[in-house]
Amino acid sequence: MFYTNKKENLTSRKPRRQFSNNFKQQIINLYNAGMKRSDVIKEYDLAPLKFR
């Protein structure tokens, strides 16, 4: 079994990103125009739970 150090996991996380309201609106517009949710998530490297 493989164990990791909790401290190591915390430091290896991606830094938290902040998105402007303009960017958020662009994402919504793409989705409303027919782009699949999964494609938007992949193309913009978004967390699936952040885009529902």
Q: pLDDT class for 15, splitting at 50, 70, 90?
A: confident
Residues 51 and 37 sit within 8 Å (Cβ to Cβ):
yes
Q: What is the mean pLDDT of the segment spanning 4-30? A: 81
* CB-based contacts of 31, cutoff 8 Å, min separation 6: 37, 40
pTM: 0.66
Q: Letter for the amino acid at 29?
A: N
Q: Letter for the amino acid at 52?
A: R
Rounded CA separation 17/3 (Å): 28
Query: So where are the chain's domains?
Result: 19-51
Q: Tell me what pLDDT residue 49 has.
A: 85
Q: pLDDT class for 3, splitting at 50, 70, 90?
A: low
Q: pLDDT class for 7, splitting at 50, 70, 90?
A: low
